[in-house]
Amino acid sequence: MPRCNVKRTVLFLLIVGFTCIVIHSCRSSDWLTHDPWKLKEKEVKLVIPLRQIPNNQSFHLKPAIKLSHQNILALNQGNASLIHELHFQNSTFICRNGGILTVKSGGRLGNLMGEYATLWALAKRDGFFPVLQHRTYITLTKYFLETSIPTITNLNCSLKWNSMNLHVYNKLHKEERIKIAKEGIFIDGYPTSVSLFHRHRNDIVNEFRFKKHYVERAQAELHRLRENRQDVVFVGVHVRRTDYSQFLQGRFQAQLVGETYFTRAMNYFRKKFPSSLFVVASDDMDWCRSHLKPQNNDIVYAGNRNIESPAEDMALLVACNHTIISYGNFGFWSAYLSGGEVILAGNISRMPTELQHSIRSANISHWQFFPGF
Ligand SMILES: *[C@@H]1O[C@H](CO)[C@@H](O)[C@H](O)[C@H]1NC(C)=O
Ligand SMILES: *[C@@H]1O[C@H](CO)[C@@H](O)[C@H](O)[C@H]1NC(C)=O
Ligand SMILES: *[C@@H]1O[C@H](CO)[C@@H](O)[C@H](O)[C@H]1NC(C)=O
Ligand SMILES: *[C@@H]1O[C@H](CO)[C@@H](O)[C@H](O)[C@H]1NC(C)=O
Ligand SMILES: *[C@@H]1O[C@H](CO)[C@@H](O)[C@H](O)[C@H]1NC(C)=O
Ligand SMILES: *[C@@H]1O[C@H](CO)[C@@H](O)[C@H](O)[C@H]1NC(C)=O
Ligand SMILES: *[C@@H]1O[C@H](CO)[C@@H](O)[C@H](O)[C@H]1NC(C)=O
């Protein structure tokens, strides 16, 4: 029955094709669950200038945006005006005059900060004007006092925007970069290069100063947590679990680090600073409470947290004197901005994660990897 076979074959191919499409779309939608912006990401991927901004496109505009002094953008809801020039520190970008660079807005707070810092460093290195995707701009200006890279939203230039990943971009010759940057370069992926931006550490730390109420809240919470202990050395502990497990398993065949790692790291600080107080922030507090073993009551837990408002946790960890992190961008930034000694998990998989690799090559002083298991 050849006819039936043909039908069956066609049906089989259709099923295989459909399955591939489903798998592909699941994979490419990245590993970040619970991201309220995930669906919006595609829409804001490239804000094509030269198009009137409809009144309702400001779906993620929040009131109370504090703009950098120089960015005289009218970002009131529904009244965004298109302009032909942008300012960043002392430089001005005018349409079709010089190179311009932007990065994808991918992931949550920690990722966005890494992308921002990488964009900053690339712009400095290559002499191009940096500009942010609006989603990144809105998120960062919500938490930080004064980030200085402007948003692309209101730029009225007709640019083509050449999209490429960081690796490809870095491979380009200088002349080539200059040529295509005139049409705009859009760096795709989740570009984060610690070794690149670590050279500008002071500038970067300055960009990410938390707004006053986050700082005050963090100090108040540390004060509450220390109770009547004297001369405390605060050691922030970030325990990343939940959905990171799938990411590590899927991409690196690695597992979450367990209590052995945290005990070893805490013992290091206990020995060095006998008055250490470990301030734990985590997306899985239950796990922490049953696995982290206090000595003389030296572990305290940050208040109940909402995963959608990560800035409180980060500000708290930043206010601590030293940091123990597991992995991930959120932990990285909490530790990096805190500025003290940092312990992080190494050798958790055969291949290091991109971030681990990037941190290692940055050779940050007072950071050390402890074995993950
Ligand atoms: C925005 O407005 C346009 C036309 O004014 C309309 O077609 C579109 O559906 C609106 N989008 C949303 C998300 O409301
Ligand atoms: C938009 O801003 C201009 C001044 O910048 C103002 O005159 C106008 O009333 C505003 N429109 C709306 C709808 O708010
Ligand atoms: C955007 O730029 C184009 C070309 O320079 C100009 O014709 C248009 O009026 C501008 N739009 C606004 C709203 O400024
Ligand atoms: C901007 O220019 C002023 C003086 O023109 C200079 O003092 C300042 O350091 C410059 N800032 C940056 C970030 O280059
Ligand atoms: C440790 O952190 C606390 C809280 O932020 C701060 O008050 C204190 O000055 C820090 N200690 C040192 C030595 O930096
Ligand atoms: C890393 O930094 C330390 C000093 O902080 C230095 O002694 C060492 O040579 C550096 N290693 C590399 C590979 O650059
Ligand atoms: C990780 O593995 C490398 C190579 O096997 C080794 O040199 C390094 O000391 C290990 N680091 C940790 C923190 O275990």
| Length of the chain, in residues | 373
Longest dimension (CA), the chain: 87
Concatenate the DSSP letters of all residues of 145-206 into one string.
Answer: S---PPBSTTB------EEEEHHHHHHS-HHHHHHHHTT-EEEES----HHHHGGGHHHHHH
Task: For residue 14, name the pLDDT band (cuts at 50, 70, 90).
Answer: low
Which residues lie below 8 Å from residue 173, measured CB to CB, with a gap of 6+?
A: none
Which residues lie below 8 Å from residue 42, measured CB to CB, with a gap of 6+?
A: none
154 C-alpha to ligand 2 centroid (Å)? 15
**Residues 200 and 217 placed together within one structural domain of the fold:** no
Q: Mean per-residue pLDDT for 219-226?
A: 95
Question: Nearest C-alpha to atom 13 of ligand 3 is from which residue?
Answer: 82
Among the candidates 151, 183, 205, a domain finishes at 205
Choice between 24 and 3, residue whose per-residue pLDDT is larger: 3
In a domain? residue 281: yes
- Give the separation between CA 213 and CA 220, rounded to whole angstroms: 10
Q: Which ligand is nearest to the CA of 367?
A: 6
89 lines ligand 4 (CB under 6 A): yes
For residue 243, what pLDDT band results from cuts at 50, 70 and 90? confident
- Shared domain for 198 and 222, answered yes or no, is no
Nearest CA to ligand 6 atom 2: 363
Mean pLDDT of 288-297: 95
CB of 2 within 6 A of ligand 1: the answer is no
Atom number of ligand 3 nearest to Cα 50 = 1
Q: Are residues 363 and 217 in the same domain?
A: yes
In angstroms, rounded to a whole number, what is the distance separating the alpha carbons of residues 331 and 325?
Answer: 6
- Atom of ligand 2 at shortest distance to CA of 78? 13
Residues 6+ apart with CB under 8 A from 144: 207, 208, 209, 210, 211
Does 22 score more than 50 pLDDT? no
Tell whether 156 is covered by a domain.
Answer: yes
Q: Residue 96 corresponds to which tokens in the numbers above?
A: 């079709």
- CATH number of the domain where residue 86 is located: 3.40.50
- Tell me, in angstroms, the distance from the centre of ligand 5 to residue 141's CA: 26
Please indicate, yes or no, if residue 189 is contained in any of the structural domains.
Answer: yes
Q: pLDDT at position 204, please?
A: 97
For ligand 7, the distance from its centroid to the CA atom of residue 367, given in whole angstroms, is 14
Does 33 map to a domain? no
Q: Give residue 178 CA to ligand 1 midpoint distance, Å.
A: 38
Q: Is residue 117 situated within a structural domain?
A: yes
What confidence category does residue 1 fall into, taking pLDDT thresholds of 50, 70 and 90?
very low
For residue 63 the two structure tokens come to 């009131």
Ligand 1 lined by 63 (C-beta under 6 Å): no
Radius of gyration of the chain (CA): 23
DSSP 3-state percent helix, strand, coil across the chain (nearest 5): 45, 15, 40
Which pLDDT tens digit goes with each residue over 116-130? Answer: 999 999 999 999 999
Q: How far is CA 229 from the centre of its chain?
A: 34
Give the chain's mean pLDDT: 81
Domain check: are 221 and 352 in the same one?
yes
Query: For residues 45 and 342, which has the higher predicted lDDT (pLDDT)?
Result: 342
Asked if residue 82 has its Cβ within 6 Å of ligand 3, the reply is yes
Q: Is residue 12 part of a domain?
A: no
Q: Which two tokens stand for residue 155?
A: 């730029």
Query: Region 6-11: what's the mean pLDDT?
Result: 70
- Kindly tell me if the per-residue pLDDT of 62 is higher than 60: no
The predicted structure's pLDDT at residue 154: 76
CA of 336 to the centre of ligand 4 (A): 26
Provide the CA 204 distance to its chain's centre, in angstroms.
13
344: CATH:
3.40.50.2000
Question: Is the pLDDT assigned to residue 340 strictly greater than 70?
Answer: yes
Instruction: Please name which ligand lies nearest the alpha carbon of 232.
Output: 5
- Asked if 361 and 273 sit in the same domain, the reply is yes
DSSP category for residue 211: P
Distance CA 220, CA 320 (A): 12
Q: Are residues 125 and 272 in the same domain?
A: no
Mean per-residue pLDDT, 15-30: 46
In this structure, the dihedral spanned by the alpha carbons of residues 286, 287, 291 and 292, taken in order and rounded to 10 degrees, is -70
Kindly state the average pLDDT of the residues 81-97. 85
Nearest atom (ligand 4) to Cα of 89: 13
Tell me how far apart the alpha carbons of residues 87 and 94 are, in angstroms, rounded to a whole number.
Answer: 9
Domain boundary among 173, 205, 237: 205
Q: Name, of 152-156, 245-249, 269-273, the range with top average pLDDT.
A: 269-273
Contact between 359 and 247 (Cβ < 8 Å): no
**Cβ(147)–Cβ(141) under 8 Å?**
yes
Residues 150 and 272 placed together within one structural domain of the fold: no
Which residues constitute the domain of residue 232? Answer: 212-371
- Inside any domain, residue 61: no
Contact 141, 67 (CB under 8 A): yes
**Which atom of ligand 7 lies nearest, measured to the CA of 368?**
13
